[in-house]
């Protein structure tokens, strides 16, 4: 709930105060791809990635390099604060070993025992998984840049839904798998009502995790039952 609220508030602020979102920042030489500190302030808009006001990115220099300036930059009024720099001894003759493994992902080419300076490799994730970070890594001074992460898809398990007396909101919907970042809507099963202490019924998939809402035994009736009861009452009045 906090994750959704903070995203909603940031979006509203950006509209009310005409806060422009930030495009991805320019890469910092000899630094890994920056890590987003507040994941909820990143979104897709018109087919491109943007960062809402208040987003913070943290930089880390490659091994053997020293960071100068603040390691974090923040988005404000459509611009990033000043990026840091990385300095050190650049040894261009060093080679890299095999590329790093990533969980639930793989490289697009057959791995070699070593790679020359400047070599670039690309990763891929399975269906329903989201690739976060740069798809490619580069060999720099004997070190690979940071590989991406494959964010796990979410499964709306029947057992978990039954344990919480809930079902998918749209009864005809059979989509049990959702990508990280997608939203799933639930509703109470017939004969149950929403628990006042339950989490929201519109749930976001976050790296394979769903926070299920909860319903308790109550008087919720099927729409068809209500129609029949009204029809029966009408017949009784006519008698």
pLDDT category of residue 236 using cuts at 50, 70 and 90: low
pLDDT category of residue 219 using cuts at 50, 70 and 90: low
* pLDDT above 60: residue 114: yes
- What's 1-79's CATH class? mainly beta
The total number of residues written for the chain in this structure: 239
Q: Residue 227 has what pLDDT?
A: 59
Q: For the chain, what percent of residues have pLDDT higher than 90? A: 28
Mean pLDDT of the chain: 81
In this structure, is the dihedral angle defined by the CA atoms of residues 104, 109, 114 and 117, taken in order, positive or negative?
negative
CATH no. for 97-150: 2.10.70.10
Check if the beta carbon of residue 119 is closer than 8 Å to that of residue 96.
Answer: yes
If one compares 89 and 210, the residue with the highest pLDDT of the two is 210
Question: Measured between alpha carbons, how far is residue 48 from residues 38, 94, 213 in Å?
Answer: 18, 35, 31
Structural domain 154-222, CATH architecture = Ribbon (2.10)
Sorted by sequence, the CB contacts under 8 Å of residue 239 that are 6+ apart come out as none
Q: Is the pTM of this model over 0.75?
A: no
Mean pLDDT is lowest, of 17-21, 85-89, 135-139, 191-195, for: 17-21
* pLDDT above 50: residue 1: no
Indicate where the chain has its CATH 2.10.70.10 domain(s): 1-79, 97-150, 154-222
| pLDDT tens track for 67-80 | 999 999 999 999 99
């Amino acid at each position: 709930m906090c994750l959704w609220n903070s995203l909603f508030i940031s979006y509203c602020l950006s509209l009310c105060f005409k806060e422009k979102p930030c495009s991805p920042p320019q890469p910092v030489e000899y630094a890994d791809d920056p890590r987003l500190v507040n994941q909820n302030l990143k979104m897709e808009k018109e087919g491109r990635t943007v960062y809402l006001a208040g987003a913070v990115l943290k930089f880390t220099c490659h091994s053997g390099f020293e960071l100068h300036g603040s390691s974090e930059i923040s988005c404000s009024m459509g611009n990033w604060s000043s990026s840091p720099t990385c300095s050190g001894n650049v040894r261009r003759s060093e080679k890299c070993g095999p590329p790093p493994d990533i969980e639930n992902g793989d490289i697009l080419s057959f791995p070699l025992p070593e790679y020359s300076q400047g070599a670039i490799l690309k990763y891929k994730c399975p269906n329903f998984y989201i690739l976060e970070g740069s798809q490619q890594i580069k060999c720099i001074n004997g070190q690979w840049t940071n590989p991406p992460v494959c964010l796990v898809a979410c499964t709306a398990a029947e057992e978990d839904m039954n344990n919480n007396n809930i079902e998918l909101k749209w009864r005809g919907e059979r989509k049990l798998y959702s990508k990280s970042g997608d939203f799933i809507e639930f509703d109470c099963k017939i004969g149950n009502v929403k628990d006042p202490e339950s989490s929201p019924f519109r749930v976001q998939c976050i790296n394979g995790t769903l926070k299920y809402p909860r319903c308790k035994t109550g008087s919720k009736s099927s729409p068809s039952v209500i129609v029949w009861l009204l029809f029966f009452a009408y017949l009784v009045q006519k008698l």
